[in-house]
Amino acid sequence: DAGITQSPRHKVTETGTPVTLRCHQTENHRYMYWYRQDPGHGLRLIHYSYGVKDTDKGEVSDGYSVSRSKTEDFLLTLESATSSQTSVYFCAISERWDGEQYFGPGTRLTVT
């Protein structure tokens, strides 16, 4: 998985609780992305980062926030989890803004 790890790999949480997912890379790539994947919708971009402390919203950013304080770490936070956020979350990295993206192993999140 191109030097990308995600933690936790599986999580079950209750509605209304905060959840933080972590993506860690050892490739020193500038760009990092968070996607969610749901049946019928494919991969959808939540947020992305183009450098330390530089982030921007994707197409499904409502209810999510991100932070990147170091090149290697990109955190995704669900401030108050809802059942609609049950999904598989993938982190991806890229060297260039228009370059290939490489994906981490994913986190399966279930909100009950």
Contacts of range 41-48, beta carbons closer than 8 Å, 24 or more positions apart: 43/90, 46/76, 46/89, 47/76
Please identify, using beta-carbon distances, which residue of 16 and 51 lies nearer to other proteins. Answer: 51
Nearer to other proteins, 15 or 26 (CB): 26
Instruction: Determine if the peptide bond prior to 8 is cis (ω within 30°).
Output: yes
Least distance from C-beta 62 to other proteins, angstroms?
A: 16
**With respect to other proteins, which residue has the nearer C-beta, 42 or 112?**
42
Which residues in 68-85 are b (16+ Cβ under 10 Å) and which e?
beeebebbbebeebeeeb
Q: In angstroms, rounded to a whole number, what is the distance separating the alpha carbons of residues 76 and 74?
A: 7
Q: Which residues bind other proteins (CB under 8 A)?
A: 1, 31, 33, 35, 40-45, 48, 50, 56, 58, 90, 97-106
> Please, which residue, 33 or 64, has the CB nearer to other proteins?
33
Q: How is residue 96 written in tokens?
A: 């260039």
